[in-house]
Amino acid sequence: GDSVTQMEGPVTLSEEAFLTINCTYTATGYPSLFWYVQYPGEGLQLLLKATKADDKGSNKGFEATYRKETTSFHLEKGSVQVSDSAVYFCALKAAGNKLTFGGGTRVLVKP
Amino acid sequence: EPEVTQTPSHQVTQMGQEVILRCVPISNHLYFYWYRQILGQKVEFLVSFYNNEISEKSEIFDDQFSVERPDGSNFTLKIRSTKLEDSAMYFCASSNAGTDRTDTQYFGPGTRLTVL
């Protein structure tokens, strides 16, 4: 079945540091890939998505590139802020209705 | 910007009691979903709903669970007889295009269910 694996946290960074969160997947078929973010006390918000190989999703300074050859969709941001502290979820959608999520990575950015 | 809303934000219940979790999806969306996240575990798909019927469900979604769209705006998840292991955060989501693999699901803030 479909699965998503992402690096375990927590990831602790200083402000303006570079952030990478690794995400790899296995899927039957050709999935779309998503990153969702959950800020403290809030629900899941779509951060970005990519629907085909070599597509780059981007939003709020975050980027992720759909790499079919390595089945990966790593999330990056060049200079994090304290407000980026959150839990980040990688997810895929292949056939059918459901999203399949990774375990989430907690990121803590310190001033 | 339209958003999915959920009530209550936190529900505490006794084991064996029935609970109903409520969601108001985005108004022009046609597909509705429930997911849950047990503390420290992954977000898991429970069920999807389209055109007044279940379109897909996971093995978690057994006879204790049911969903309903009682009117034009609400979407509910009912757990008939709660167990301790039903304690989790329950997320409602909605979308436009269902089985299209590019479809984006929009999530509500969640209801934290605690079963004592």
The interface residues of chain B toward chain A in range 91-110, judged by CB-CB distance below 8 A, are: 91, 93, 98-99, 101-110
What are the Cα distances from residue A28, in Å, to A3, A57, A71?
10, 22, 12
Q: Which residues contact B53 (CB under 8 A, 6 or more apart)?
A: none
Residue B111 contacts A, CB cutoff 8 Å? no
Residuewise pLDDT in 10s, chain B (116 residues): 779 999 999 999 999 999 999 999 999 899 999 999 998 889 999 999 999 999 999 999 999 999 999 887 899 999 999 999 999 999 999 998 877 888 899 999 999 999 99
Residue of chain A nearest B110, judged by CA positions: A43
And the tokens for B9? 């934000």
Count CB pairs under 8 A between chains A and B.
65
Residue type, B73: S
And the tokens for B39? 């503390």
| Contact: B102, A95; criterion CB under 8 Å | no
* pLDDT tens for each residue of A61-71: 999 999 999 99
Q: Percent of chain A scored above 90 by pLDDT?
A: 86
3-state helix, strand, coil in chain B (%, to 5): 5, 50, 50
Q: Alpha-carbon distance A47 to A81, whole Å?
A: 16
Using alpha carbons, select from B56, B43, B113 the residue that is nearest to residue A36: B43
